[in-house]
Amino acid sequence: MSPLDFEATLHYYPSRCPLCRGKIRFHKLARDLLFMAKERLTSSKQLIDKTWLLYVLRCQDQTLYCGITNDLERRITQHNDGKGARYTKGRGPVTLLKSWPAISLSAALKAERAFKKLTKQAKLQKLKSRSRKDAVSLKLQGQ
């Protein structure tokens, strides 16, 4: 039984608590342990939610910009406010064309490098494509 399964019994019914079996002193200890377990679960969940993304923007002068982030909305706002990359500072506002999730920061960096090596035609082709077998997609998967 996980700590979250008996959360209600810990708070309301000490006699039914599977950890303390009715002893109030143990019940308070169990409640504190539950609180710490929940804190760990939430902090690890926040780490999991921060997946790295490779994203491509179109600037106002119709050029493309590629970057990585773990918070896409914040990063686009930074680009539009002129506080993002130097390249987009004078070319705003920018629009998001596409983004892809990466399995890690390292994979995102490698995929960004591979995308930036492509020609403009190949970049436009990648934006239209749904293939997962090209070099950029393989890098995003960590291969």
Q: What is the pLDDT of residues 21-51, one digit of tens each?
A: 665 555 666 666 666 666 666 555 545 557 9
What is the reported pLDDT for 16? 59
Length of the chain: 143
Mean per-residue pLDDT for 68-90?
A: 91
pLDDT exceeds 80 at position 94: yes
pLDDT band of residue 141 (cuts 50, 70, 90) is confident
- Tell me the C-alpha distance between 130 and 137, whole Å: 10
pTM: 0.65
Proportion of the chain above pLDDT 70, given as a percent: 66
pLDDT band of residue 9 (cuts 50, 70, 90) is very low
What is the reported pLDDT for 10? 47
Which of the listed ranges 22-31, 47-56, 72-81 does the model predict with the highest average pLDDT? 72-81
Q: What spatial distance separates the first Cα and last Cα of the chain, rounded to whole Å?
A: 38
- Tell me the C-alpha distance between 31 and 7, whole Å: 8
Give CATH superfamily name and number for 53-140.
GIY-YIG endonuclease (3.40.1440.10)
What integer best gives the mean pLDDT of the chain?
Answer: 79
Mean per-residue pLDDT for 72-79?
A: 92
Is residue 80 within 8 Å of residue 48, measured between CB atoms? Answer: no
pLDDT exceeds 60 at position 14: no
Domain edges within the chain: 7-49, 53-140
Longest dimension (CA), the chain: 71
Joined tokens for residue 68: 């990585």
